[in-house]
Amino acid sequence: MESAEIRKRWLRFFEERGHTVVPSASLVADDPTLLLVNAGMVPFKPYFLGEVKPTFKRATSVQKCVRTLDIEEVGKTTRHGSFFQMCGNFSFGDYFKEGAIALAWELLTNSVADGGYGLDPEKLWITVYLDDDEAERIWRDVIGVPPERIQRLGKSENFWSMGVPGPCGPCSEINYDRGPAYGEEGGPAVNGERYLEIWNLVFMQFERGAGTGKDDYPILGDLPAKNIDTGLGLERLACILQGVDNLYEIDTSRMILDRAAELTGKVYGQDHTTDVSLRVVADHVRTAVMLIGDGVVPGNEGRGYVLRRMMRRAIRNMRLMGAEGATLHDLVETTIKAMGPQYPNLVEDAERIDAVSVAEEKRFLARLQEGTALLDESIVKAKSAGSRVLPGEVAFLLHDTEGFPIDLTLEIAAEQGLAVDEDGFRRLMNEQRQRAKKDAQARKQGLADLSVYREVADSSGGTVFTGYLDTANEVT
């Protein structure tokens, strides 16, 4: 089943069950505490916080997400994309645990002919929060999941809160057993690669107080109106339904991966290092295109830096695989072909997206040249001083001013028979990170004014949007 069809089925299923279809918000969060939207519930935050009363009791969306925290995982695990789409259904004081669990089970296990995804119920494993007997009882007695496929997990996995006073509550997750090829049995509690987490159901039932940190706060009592927030990873489900090994091989990403292989003359599936590079390129170029599509431009701070990092890592990986000239024009074109059917704005905006990408690539390739000159000079200096080690300051300077990733510096130095003082480099990076953290904290404290949510919801909350579905029908 193609990604576009997965998305269409999702929205149709929940719309038929009384949910208002809400279009994906921009990746650029209308939220001063967030750089980029990282979950489906973000645009609904004002409702959950009780800042604004929604005009609907049930909603559904397929939200674009970027998780910068997951960037390092890309290409290494099979299930983390830096960009992904979170399918969600939401209840505001309407159905609760039993309703959410029944809906999720129905959609996943209904046959394809009946509008579902047709997953084999025997492959689904459930996790619930440590003391959530109610959720366990529903899964076991109402749905009929055998008790041995229901596991309990602790706070870090299965309890949700927003990091501020307000709603919180236990989660329950649905995981898919991909079989012994992915490692030992034992359920999601012991093996996250084999038992792929696909859907998180959050039961907002308590109110939390301020406390001293994200995981240390008092529970003040039950919420007057209980809410549901769920999120299913579209790409993860696509992975299962398309019978592929990882997120980068599903229909929408695979086209980009194949184009990268073509441009470098590599064959996917023959060498681990090359495969990781190809996956990183497929993932990062897709994320970059989605970010540019939502108005982000490359820069040295915030979102602009996230974008710049994505593009530079993609370019760098293309070079590692042997590409010498510019490749982003081709890769971006392919990405727009892959994602355009679901995001027509990319097609309309193709020229601008291409121009931003090509300009950034040009700049980086020029810097690579400048940096290489600086590096060569430092290498000569070190050698004539009889040293076999390049100072950490040089690596830091290259990183800071020329955007040189450390692995590039290491590689060029090694070609000249030199090591790099990596400890020194890391120390300087750390110091810089601490400085940035302090700046960010100061910014966050100055900006945590929630009234901004009200403005957003006031201007957009009351609209019943249908163009999303209309568009999907029109272009697929």
- Tell me the window of 77-85, 365-373, 442-450, 460-468 that interacts with ligand ATP (CB under 6 A): 77-85
Q: Are 88 and 60 in contact (CB under 8 A)?
A: yes
What residue number has its CB nearest to ligand ATP?
Answer: 233
- Tell me the window of 95-103, 230-238, 252-260, 371-379 that interacts with ligand ATP (CB under 6 A): 230-238
Residue 136 interacting entry, from ligand ATP, Mg ion, none, C-beta within 5 to 8 Å by type: none
What residue number has its CB nearest to Mg ion?
Answer: 200
**Rounded least distance, CB 73 to Mg ion, Å:** 8
Q: Figure out which of the listed residues 177, 207, 235, 249 binds ligand ATP, where binding follows CB under 6 A.
A: 235
Q: Figure out which of the listed residues 232, 290, 350, 368 binds ligand ATP, where binding follows CB under 6 A.
A: 232
Q: Are 421 and 389 in contact (CB under 8 A)?
A: yes
Other C-beta atoms closer than 10 Å to the C-beta of 87 total 25
Q: How many CA atoms lie within 13 A of 261 on its CB side?
A: 19
- Tell me the window of 195-203, 251-259, 276-284, 395-403 that interacts with ligand ATP (CB under 6 A): 195-203
- Tell me the window of 55-63, 196-204, 356-364, 424-432 that interacts with Mg ion (CB under 5 A): 196-204
Residues 446-465 that bind ligand ATP (CB under 6 A): none
Interaction between residue 117 and ligand ATP (CB under 6 A): no
**Rounded least distance, CB 77 to ligand ATP, Å:** 8
Buried b (16+ CB within 10 A) or exposed e, 137-160: ebbbeebebeeebbbbbeeebbbb
Pairing of strands 389-390, 419-420: parallel
- Helix (H/G/I), strand (E/B), else coil: 60: strand
The DSSP secondary-structure symbol of 217 reads -
Q: Are 332 and 311 in contact (CB under 8 A)?
A: no
Q: Figure out which of the listed residues 19, 58, 67, 266 binds ligand ATP, where binding follows CB under 6 A.
A: 67
Sign of CA dihedral 15, 17, 18, 20: negative
**Rounded least distance, CB 204 to ligand ATP, Å:** 14
Which residues, other chains included, contact 109 with Cβ-Cβ below 8 Å and sequence gap of 6+?
Answer: 116, 117, 118, 119, 120, 121, 124
Residue 199 interacting entry, from ligand ATP, Mg ion, none, C-beta within 5 to 8 Å by type: ligand ATP
The site for Mg ion, by CB under 5 A, has a size of: 2
Alpha helices in 294-349 (DSSP H): 302-320, 328-339, 344-348
d(CA 232, CA 134): 22
Interaction between residue 91 and Mg ion (CB under 5 A): no
Nearer to ligand ATP, 76 or 329 (CB): 76
Other C-beta atoms closer than 10 Å to the C-beta of 299 total 13
**Rounded least distance, CB 103 to ligand ATP, Å:** 16
Buried b (16+ CB within 10 A) or exposed e, 440-474: eeeeeeeeeeeebbeebbeeebeeeeeebeebbee
Interaction between residue 80 and ligand ATP (CB under 6 A): yes
Nearest to 286 by CA among 88, 467, 74: 74
CA end-to-end span of the chain: 13
Interaction between residue 86 and ligand ATP (CB under 6 A): yes
Nearer to ligand ATP, 197 or 402 (CB): 197
Q: Figure out which of the listed residues 108, 198, 260, 290 binds ligand ATP, where binding follows CB under 6 A.
A: 198
Nearer to Mg ion, 233 or 371 (CB): 233
Interaction between residue 124 and ligand ATP (CB under 6 A): no
Interface with ligand ATP by CB under 6 A: which residues?
Answer: 67, 70, 79-81, 84, 86, 197-200, 231-233, 235-236
Interface with Mg ion by CB under 5 A: which residues?
Answer: 197, 200
